Structures are given as C-alpha cells and as structure tokens.
Chain A
Amino acid sequence: MDFTRRDIISIRDFSKEEIEYILESAARMEARLGSKLNLLEGKILACLFFEPSTRTRLSFEAAMKRLGGRVIGFSKAGVASIAKGENLTDTIKTVTNYADVIVIRHPREGAARLAAEVSEVPVINAGDGSNQHPTQTLLDLYTIKKEKGRLDVKAAIVGDLKYGRTVHSLAHALAMFGASLILVSPSGLEMPPEVLADLLELGVEVKESHNLEEAVSEAEVLYVTRIQKERFPDPEEYEKVKGAYKVTREMLASARKDLIVMHPLPRIDEISPEVDLTEHARYFQQVRNGLPVRMALLTLVLGVE
C-alpha cells in the first residue's frame, strides 16, 4: 500500500484496509521508538496553526523531530500574514515552496481540504473547525486496537455529540469496523441526524441514551468528551448536566472489569481525578499513542518507512 504524497484530510477518505495499514505501521513505529531514527533527516514540516493548540502541535513537532526532521511554522493566526489580510490559498501556495509536508489546523470547516488542493506537498489535517481531526481518530483507533486487540468493540461515546468533531469521525470509523455504539449525551446535544443516518447506513448497531451509568455497565470502551459550557443558554442547565455526565470511581464499580476509559484531552471535570488510579483509565496512554501514529503518518506520506 502506498501513501506517498497522499493527504490526510478526513477519516472518510480511507478504506478499512488503509486504516489497518496505518495502525500496523504505527505499531512498527512504536517498537522503534527507543532507537535513533533519522528517517526524515533533511525534511521540513510546516506546522500552520491558525487556531491555538498545544498538544496536537507539540505532538506533531515531537513526531517530526524524533524522525530527524525539522519544523517551521506558526501557532497563531494573529502573527501570520492572515492578520494582514492574506487568504488561506495564497498562504498555502507560499508555504508549499518551503516544506516537504504541511500540518494545518484552521477554525473553518473545509480549510484542510482546500489547502490540500492548492498545495504541492502532502497536507495533514490537524482539525478543521468542527469537521474532522483524522489523526486524533487514528490514535483513538490505535489505542482501542492495542488495548482490546480488535476494533469491533462495544463502545459508549459520551458528551457533546452534536458539536464534537472527534466523536463524529470516531463513530464513523468504529462503525466501519463493525463496532456497536452507545451514544450518550445530554438532550439537545445528541448526534446530528445526518451523522446518525451515516452510521446506520454502515449497518452498525446504535443505541442512543441519556443514561451514563447504564452505558458504563455495558461498554468495553468508554470514550468521554467534554461538554462545553457555552453550548448552554442557561448556566443552571449546564451545572445540572455536568454533574450527570461525570465519570466517577463509584460509577465504575458496576463496569466490566475490562472496560477502558478514554478521553481526547484536555479534560475539565468530566472524569474525576480518582479514576486516573483505576485499572480502567487509558487516556494518558492514549495521548502517548499520538506520537507513533503521527510519526507513522509523516513517514508514510513522505514515502519513507
């Protein structure tokens, strides 16, 4: 399978086989993490972060540097030429002359696809508005595969399912692999009907619920996301919902012994810190898995392995 010069824009662009290939490649990369790797020596990654991000940007920079490559870029649109009124298309046409690969995060949906169309070098989407964040999805899948040995798991996805970009692409990817899904959200923040329709078209078993405790007792994978305060017009309503969707140690008493709890981080208070010490917590391993997955993707799109 050849990924050379391919863009990584949306999880929808990939077949099951291609996703499996990326995950295997990430596993091989993880095994080599201790040794000195100069696979991308002489190559330059441009990190264009038009929206603030710490972890994703650091993860990509670390991935490139661990492979012996170098990184250029910016991390705030305010300091870039955008502040002078330059459009995205022109920025990409410029940067494509300087770098071998581009990683972009942008507040508008579709920005990464457009960047890929005008760029001469491969583009990796690190988040385009509320649309896609494919490398997050790949590292989530990698974590599930590593922990469970398979992807056709029973997964409960919890939180803001309406606006959360990670949950849409994760649900789509898990559905491709035959997982069964429990979608747990406060009312008003349910999975949008068109995303739900997509999942059903993939032939997956989907259950929608407002009951976190019930989902915790059934699931093999509990994927928790943040519920943002600004989504609620009434602050009191937010406080009520926040309490009902918080994963606690007591709640996990009814869980299967092999349940794993995941979270894309940063978490605010949707998983209580005492859960960190339980055998279920996997979110810090999950964030660590971002490194081999992103390293694998960089080598794949640059045609080096």
Chain B
Amino acid sequence: MERDIRVRKIKDGTVIDHITAGQALNVLKIIGITREFPKTTVTVAINVPSRKAGLKDIVKVEGKELRSEEVDKIALIAPKATINIIRNYQVVEKKKVSIPPKLEGVLKCANPNCITHFEPVKTRFHVERKEPIKLRCHYCERVMSEAEIVRQF
C-alpha cells in the first residue's frame, strides 16, 4: 500500500512541519490565511502519521515567509513545530519554534478588567508551562489557558 503523502513541492514559501495534531487550522489563522488571502497555493495536512509524535499536521504556503511574531504565536499552540523556508524548491533555512520565557506585545490579556486594556502599555506574559501552554499576565496575574489564547487568533 502506498503510505507516502504526495504533495507537490513549493517553489518559494514556507513549510510548517511537526504541528501538534489538530492545530493546523489555528496555524492558518495565525499566519492570516483566510478566504481573502491572495491567490496562492496552501496545502494543509491534518493527522499525518509521524514516527516521533504519532500524528502531526503540516501546512505549506506558497509565496509567504513568516514574521517573528507569527512564529512566536505558532510556538504557543504547536511547540514542536519546525519552520522550513523554501526558495527555488530548496530548503534554505530550517528552524524549530521556541517559546520565549516572556511574551511581549504578542497577545491581549483575556481579563477584560486588566489594566493593559486601558493604558498605553505593551502586554507581557510569563510562560509558566510550555505544554499545554500556561501564561500568566505580568500585570493582572490572571492565568490564560490555551483555549483563551487560541480564541484571539
């Protein structure tokens, strides 16, 4: 039986591999792939058998390289993801995402009464646990769960 997944290689763009199974659609939201996205080829594979993780998701996007803010967000929901930058069919850069110990200005606090919603200040969160993610707001000290984080994307 043919077990390989046959997806056409992309010429220029990004392959996000080893995404936590089930998170591919959230990754698309993070990188802004919506119905209005300019016509480009986006390939999404969900629940792909993987030797290391059991199952994983993969996202390939033609013609887009990720911003560091997008990479930070992906790390929150898919901490084992790898980002492969493709130019002229070749992988020119391969990096693992990583969750920094502090996140600044990337997310909004889920607490509507947090001072960060009312003052000119960058949000800041301390990473208390990486998987599943647990963030604590530096200001109001409220814990933000994965579900609350995902809702923002």
Chain B residues with CB under 8 A of A12 = 141
Contact of B115 among A10, A110, A130, A194 (CB under 8 A): A110
Q: Is the CB of B118 within 8 A of A108?
A: yes
A34→B16 CA distance, assembly (Å):
70
Contact between chains at A131 and B120 (CB < 8 Å): no
| Complex Cα–Cα for A113 and B137 (A) | 11
Q: Please tell me if the beta carbons of B119 and A88 are within 8 angstroms of each other in the complex.
A: yes
Judge whether B98 is part of the interface by a CB distance below 8 angstroms: no
The chain B residue with its CB closest to the CB of A115 is B115
Q: In whole angstroms, what is the CA distance A152 to B120 when docked? A: 42
* Contact with A110, one of B120, B140, B143, B145 (Cβ below 8 angstroms): B140
**Contact (Cβ within 8 A) B114 A89:** no
Residue B64 CB within 8 A of the other chain: no
Contact across chains for B141 and A109 when beta carbons are under 8 A apart: yes
Please name all residues of chain B whose beta carbon is closer than 8 Å to the beta carbon of A128 when the two chains form the complex.
Answer: 115, 140
Q: How many residues of B contact A (CB 8 A)?
A: 18
A27–B59 Cα gap in the complex (Å)? Answer: 62
Q: Please, what's the 1-or-0 string for B105-148, where 1 marks a CB less than 8 Å from any CB in chain A?
A: 00001010111101111000000000000000111111101000
Q: Does A132 lie at the interface of the complex (its beta carbon under 8 Å from any beta carbon of B)?
A: yes
**CB within 8 Å of B: which of A98-119?**
106-111, 113-114
What's the least CB distance linking A77 to chain B, in Å?
12
Residue of B nearest to A10 (CB): B141
A231: shortest Cβ distance to chain B, in Å?
Answer: 15
B115 to chain A: which residues have CB within 8 Å? 88, 106, 108-111, 113-114, 128
CA distance A298 to B136 in the complex (A): 29
Chain A residues with Cβ below 8 Å from B137 are 110
13 additional A-B pairs beyond A107-B113, A110-B140, beta carbons within 8 Å, are A12-B141, A87-B120, A108-B113, A108-B114, A108-B115, A108-B140, A109-B115, A109-B139, A109-B140, A109-B141, A110-B114, A111-B115, A113-B138
List chain B positions with a Cβ less than 8 A from chain A: 109, 111, 113-116, 118-121, 137-143, 145
